[in-house]
């Protein structure tokens, strides 16, 4: 018997942004390929379920305290549970170098380092990296305008993006939270939006001049998105992503306000309120870049809706307790995200802050296209898809998270969206057909 | 008799923001009683069986000594965990260290830490009651309470209230934990608070309800009291002000500048002062200066805090 799946999912909502499809219909998979529905197939009840092209993550990190096989297995469990079949690793190049390009059920992609040894001084052998199959070239901690220009120029004919974090160190240095009411209230040094915007504007000028493709990773400001809209209008080759957590969470979370961005009216009462002993300064809320202001979180969400934002990334970053059960300033940034990204997006969809096809496009179809992968529900294609129940609830808990580490401020939170089935290249990597009968 | 402290609803003192006006006044009343009865036999018995641990992750003389004196005056055993410079601070997490301190029997831990928010981590992870003795740029509640007592006695109404009093705070508000805790305390006591200082050091505080950010002359105009804060050279070098000399010239408090305030309006400074920078030497030594009173009031206020928290821990 083939390990490739065959089934007929009847009456599901098929959402495929690659073809503009959004219909309630039957979906058939025969030996791992999308096929015409036929009565011979095992019939599953798809009512209330959504079928979409599988999710593709442009940025996830391996647990820093596990060896590579264990860390990759940890990541693969989370990815399958979260509906992903393809993940691009953000980890240091030495960790991603020897990772098999394709392992069972998960297409692991790697990012090359822009500079030799990631030192930020001299371009790496970018052609060799391209030949080795990296999906892009990412920057080092420091990145001069000169090196950026050189990399864009060199990469332009290769059709490969320069993937950058936009942050000016002299503005961002030492900052722990977004500059604003929360930083003022909590006495944490603030990260001004200009730290991101000035570098985005600079890099867009470099991309325009060189014709190179620049991709901004984890943008967090309205100003950056505005700059990208303007640059696109004049033909600059630019793409970008934002972290799923930055759509729903905002800097108020660091002060203990745990409303999602679409539920929070304002945080004007922050100054008069007693800080919550259990929630204030929770290192689980430390991210890089820091959680956005409420207004910027909403601007990022609007950017996903209008297509300015190409991709929503999980920015999955498992951290062991010794890196999180410490002072806010001493904590490592990041939270686990592969299992919560779709659910956070669905929470936005539930309240009308986002349309489901836009979410599905930003989590799967568009990022996949950026790294040269095709995602479609078209008949004749390999089944690379996710089936989820958008209305079902789950509680984020240590037990429900597949990762070894449970560093997320969402612990204890009930979220909508349960992945019933993840199918990677025709094989089921999460879920059980028996549960859908 | 000196105060029946009764029950106190707060397990920790992390900031003044958790205290109502009535609670602040109760605490200050108790401080006044304890100040009067500081050497009585009854006072020396209050915390007889209590072990207080001092964990100072940042150099401090006056605050540490003030807590130590306060604890001893109440009959407590005070253990100073000499964190700075000892092996404890190297590689051992804050929570591990505090748990060690608890094992010595400490039920109250006085924590000074360079990271904003560290006492919240401590309160979540330790069984002992946490007294914040200053965390990063966030809060310094016992200093603010000592300042509130000092102001109440200097310019308070007949009932000791600060209703409608205009208090000007001048200097580096941004990096000041003393300023933040003072904002909570003074606003709870219904004072009107005006802030003035170099733009980078007052930016953002206009969002704080009840606070007015203004030019120095506006802040001083008719003020009932003026508090100035320490300027730190290393922070000035970070761009807030070009130099200490420029700061002194533009923002330094002098007798002449103070003429804008109400006659005899007192001057406060949480110390240690840079005389000739944020305050002139003459003004610091003048009868208008309450700097010495702020230090003196620190001990009874900390005695009151320790008594109330011990009563909450051992009702």
B121–A188 CB contact, under 8 Å: no
Percent of chain B with pLDDT over 70: 93
* Phi, psi angle pair for B267, to nearest 5°: -120, 135
Which of B11, B136, B240 is best to mutate for the A interface (most A CBs within 10 A)?
Answer: B136
Judged against a pLDDT cut of 80, whether residue A35 lies above it is answered with yes
Report the C-alpha gap between B242 and A47 in whole angstroms: 68
**Residue A268 pLDDT grade (very low, low, confident, very high; cuts 50, 70, 90):** low
Q: Is A39 at the interface with chain B, CB within 8 A?
A: no
What residue segments make up the domains of chain B, in order of their start?
Answer: 16-139+298-313, 141-294
Helix axes A222-233, A294-306, angle to 10 degrees: 30
In a domain, A153, yes or no: yes
Q: Examine the residue annotation and report whether A425 is marked as an active-site residue of this protein.
A: no
Judged against a pLDDT cut of 50, whether residue B233 lies above it is answered with yes
Region B19-34 average pLDDT? 96
Q: Is A174 at the interface with chain B, CB within 8 A?
A: no
**Greatest Cα-to-Cα distance within chain A, rounded to the nearest angstrom:** 66
- In B, which residues are within 8 Å of A280 by CB distance? 117, 120
A277–B120 CB contact, under 8 Å: yes
DSSP codes joined into one string, A131-197: HTT-SEEE--S---HHHHHHHHHHHGGGT-PEEE----HHHHTT--EETTHHHHHHT--EE-THHHH
Q: Token pair of A341, please?
A: 């990204």
The contacts of residue A434 (CB under 8 Å, 6+ apart) are none
A187–B123 CB contact, under 8 Å: no
From B315's Cα to the closest Cα of chain A, the distance in A is 21
Q: Is A281 at the interface with chain B, CB within 8 A?
A: yes
Q: Which of A203, A251, A257, A315 is catalytic?
A: A315
The answer to whether the beta carbons of residues B211 and B235 sit under 8 Å apart is no
Which of A281, A321, A330 is best to mutate for the B interface (most B CBs within 10 A)?
Answer: A281
Judged against a pLDDT cut of 80, whether residue B86 lies above it is answered with no
Which of B23, B98, B121 is best to mutate for the A interface (most A CBs within 10 A)?
Answer: B121
Q: Considering CB atoms only, which of B93, B116, B125 is closest to A186?
A: B116
Region A202-206 average pLDDT? 98
Q: Token pair of A254, please?
A: 């660091």
For residue B224, the Cα-to-chain-centroid distance in whole angstroms is: 20
Region B135-143 average pLDDT? 97
Please write the tens of the pLDDT for every residue from A380-407: 999 999 999 999 999 999 999 999 999 9
Q: Cβ-count burial of B203 within 10 angstroms (0-12 exposed, 13-18 middle, 19+ buried)?
A: middle
- The strand pairing partners of A35, in sequence order, are A28
**Residue B81 pLDDT grade (very low, low, confident, very high; cuts 50, 70, 90):** confident
**E strands present in A167-291:** 177-178, 190-191, 214-216, 238-243
- In B, which residues are within 8 Å of A189 by CB distance? 137
Judged against a pLDDT cut of 50, whether residue B315 lies above it is answered with no
Tell me how many domains chain A contains.
1
Please write the tens of the pLDDT for every residue from A93-143: 455 555 555 566 889 888 888 888 778 888 989 998 888 888 888 876 678
- Alpha-carbon Rg for chain A in angstroms: 21
- In A, which residues are within 8 Å of B125 by CB distance? 325
Please write the tens of the pLDDT for every residue from A131-184: 888 888 887 667 899 999 999 999 999 999 999 999 999 999 889 999 999 999
Please write the tens of the pLDDT for every residue from A403-437: 999 999 999 999 999 999 999 999 999 999 999 98
- The two beta strands, A21-30 and A7-16, are antiparallel
Region B47-69 average pLDDT? 94
In a domain, A386, yes or no: no
Lowest mean pLDDT among A221-235, A253-267, B25-39: A253-267
**Fold equal for B16-139+298-313 and B141-294:** yes
Per-residue confidence (pLDDT) for residue A34, from 0 to 100: 98
Per-residue confidence (pLDDT) for residue A130, from 0 to 100: 86
**Residue B92 pLDDT grade (very low, low, confident, very high; cuts 50, 70, 90):** confident
Residues 190-249 of B with CB under 8 A from A: 204-205, 207-209
Per-residue confidence (pLDDT) for residue B160, from 0 to 100: 80
Lowest mean pLDDT among A7-11, A263-267, A317-321, B23-27: A263-267
Q: What is the CATH number of domain B16-139+298-313?
A: 3.40.50.1370
Q: Which domain holds residue A287?
A: 55-373
Report the C-alpha gap between B209 and B224 in whole angstroms: 20
Per-residue confidence (pLDDT) for residue A173, from 0 to 100: 87
Q: Is A274 at the interface with chain B, CB within 8 A?
A: yes
The answer to whether the beta carbons of residues B302 and B190 sit under 8 Å apart is no
Per-residue confidence (pLDDT) for residue A93, from 0 to 100: 47
In a domain, A437, yes or no: no
Please write the tens of the pLDDT for every residue from A327-338: 999 999 999 999
From B227's Cα to the closest Cα of chain A, the distance in A is 19
Judged against a pLDDT cut of 90, whether residue B29 lies above it is answered with yes
Residue B242, number of CB atoms within 10 A of its CB: 12
Judged against a pLDDT cut of 90, whether residue A30 lies above it is answered with yes
B204–A271 CB contact, under 8 Å: no
Per-residue confidence (pLDDT) for residue A155, from 0 to 100: 94
Q: Is B29 at the interface with chain A, CB within 8 A?
A: no
Lowest mean pLDDT among A50-59, B203-212, B228-237: B228-237
Q: Is A399 at the interface with chain B, CB within 8 A?
A: no
Per-residue confidence (pLDDT) for residue B89, from 0 to 100: 53
* Chain pair A-B, CB pairs under 8 angstroms: 84
Q: Considering CB atoms only, which of A181, A187, A283 is closest to B137?
A: A187
Per-residue confidence (pLDDT) for residue A102, from 0 to 100: 52
In a domain, A413, yes or no: no
The answer to whether the beta carbons of residues A342 and A56 sit under 8 Å apart is no
Q: Is A285 at the interface with chain B, CB within 8 A?
A: no
Q: Is A170 at the interface with chain B, CB within 8 A?
A: no
From B100's Cα to the closest Cα of chain A, the distance in A is 16
B136–A187 CB contact, under 8 Å: yes
The ipTM value here is: 0.94
In a domain, A432, yes or no: no
Report the C-alpha gap between A53 and B12 in whole angstroms: 52
- Residue A314: give its domain's CATH number: 3.20.20.140
Per-residue confidence (pLDDT) for residue A1, from 0 to 100: 43
Q: Considering CB atoms only, which of B93, B138, B175 is closest to A186?
A: B138
B14–A330 CB contact, under 8 Å: no
In a domain, A378, yes or no: no
Please write the tens of the pLDDT for every residue from A289-305: 999 999 999 999 999 99
A274–B17 CB contact, under 8 Å: yes
Q: What is the CATH number of domain B141-294?
A: 3.40.50.1370
Q: Is A294 at the interface with chain B, CB within 8 A?
A: no
The answer to whether the beta carbons of residues A191 and A178 sit under 8 Å apart is yes
What value does the mean pLDDT of chain A take? 93
């Amino acid at each position: 018997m083939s390990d490739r799946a065959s089934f007929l999912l009847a009456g599901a909502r098929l959402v495929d942004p690659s073809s503009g499809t959004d219909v309630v219909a039957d979906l058939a998979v025969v030996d791992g390929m999308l096929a015409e529905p036929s009565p011979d197939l095992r019939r599953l009840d798809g009512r209330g379920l959504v079928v979409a092209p599988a999710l593709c993550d442009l940025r996830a990190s391996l647990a820093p305290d596990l060896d590579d096989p264990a860390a990759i297995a940890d990541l693969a469990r989370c990815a399958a549970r979260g509906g992903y079949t393809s993940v691009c690793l953000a980890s240091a190049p030495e960790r991603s170098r020897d990772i098999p390009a394709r392992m069972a059920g998960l297409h692991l992609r790697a990012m090359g380092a822009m500079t030799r040894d990631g030192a930020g001084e001299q371009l790496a052998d970018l052609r060799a990296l391209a030949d080795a199959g990296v999906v892009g070239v990412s920057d080092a901690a420091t990145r001069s305008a000169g090196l950026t220009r050189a990399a864009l120029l060199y990469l332009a004919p290769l059709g490969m993006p320069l993937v950058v974090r936009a942050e000016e160190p002299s503005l961002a240095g030492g900052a722990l939270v977004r500059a604003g009411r929360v930083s003022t209230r909590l006495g944490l040094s603030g990260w001004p939006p200009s730290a991101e915007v000035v570098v985005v504007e600079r890099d867009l000028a470099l991309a325009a001049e060189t014709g190179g493709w620049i991709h901004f990773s984890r943008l967090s400001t309205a100003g950056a998105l505005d700059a990208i809209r303007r640059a696109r209008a004049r033909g600059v080759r630019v793409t970008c992503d934002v972290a799923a957590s930055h759509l729903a969470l905002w800097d108020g979370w660091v002060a203990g306000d745990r409303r999602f961005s679409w539920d929070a009216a304002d945080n004007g009462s922050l100054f008069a309120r007693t800080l919550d002993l259990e929630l204030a300064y929770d290192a689980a809320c430390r991210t890089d870049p820091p959680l956005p202001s409420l207004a910027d979180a909403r601007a990022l969400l609007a950017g996903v809706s209008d297509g300015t934002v190409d991709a929503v990334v999980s920015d999955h970053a498992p951290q062991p307790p010794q890196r999180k059960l410490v002072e806010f300033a001493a904590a490592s940034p990041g939270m686990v995200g592969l299992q919560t990204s779709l659910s956070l997006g669905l929470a936005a969809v539930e309240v009308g802050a986002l349309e489901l096809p836009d979410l599905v496009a930003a989590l799967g179809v568009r990022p996949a296209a950026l790294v040269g992968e095709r995602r479609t529900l078209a008949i004749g294609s390999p089944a690379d898809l996710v089936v989820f129940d958008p209305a079902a609830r789950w509680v984020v808990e240590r037990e429900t998270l597949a990762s070894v580490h449970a560093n997320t401020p969402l612990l204890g939170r009930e979220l909508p969206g349960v992945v019933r089935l993840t199918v990677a290249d025709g094989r089921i990597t999460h879920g059980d057909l028996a549960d859908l009968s | 008799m000196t105060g029946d402290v009764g029950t106190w609803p707060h397990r920790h003192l992390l900031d003044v923001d958790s205290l109502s006006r009535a609670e602040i006044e109760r605490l200050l009343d108790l401080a006044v009683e304890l100040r009067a009865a500081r050497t009585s036999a009854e006072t020396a018995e209050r915390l007889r069986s209590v072990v207080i641990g001092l964990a100072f992750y940042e150099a401090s003389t006056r605050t540490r000594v003030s807590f130590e004196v306060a604890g001893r005056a109440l009959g407590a055993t005070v253990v100073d965990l000499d964190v700075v410079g000892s092996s404890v601070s190297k590689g051992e997490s804050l929570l591990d260290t505090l748990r060690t301190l608890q094992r010595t029997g400490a039920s109250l831990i006085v924590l000074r830490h360079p990271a904003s928010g560290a006492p919240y981590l401590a309160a979540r992870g330790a069984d002992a009651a946490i007294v914040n003795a200053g965390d990063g740029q966030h809060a310094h509640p016992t200093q603010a309470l000592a300042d509130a007592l000092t102001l109440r006695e200097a310019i308070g109404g007949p009932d000791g209230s600060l209703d409608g009093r205009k208090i000007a705070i001048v200097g580096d508000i941004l990096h000041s934990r003393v300023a933040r805790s003072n904002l909570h305390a003074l606003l709870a006591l219904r004072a009107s608070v005006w802030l003035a200082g170099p733009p980078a050091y007052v930016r953002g505080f206009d969002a704080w309800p009840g606070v007015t950010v203004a030019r120095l002359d506006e802040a001083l105009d008719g003020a009932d009291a003026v508090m100035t804060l320490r300027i730190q050279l290393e922070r000035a070098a970070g761009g807030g002000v070009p130099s200490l000399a420029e700061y002194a010239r533009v923002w330094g408090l002098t007798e002449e500048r103070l003429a804008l305030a109400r006659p005899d309006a007192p001057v406060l400074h949480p110390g240690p002062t840079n005389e000739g920078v944020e305050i002139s030497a003459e003004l610091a030594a003048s009868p208008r200066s309450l700097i010495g009173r702020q230090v003196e009031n620190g001990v009874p206020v900390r005695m009151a805090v320790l008594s109330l928290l011990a009563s909450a821990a051992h009702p």
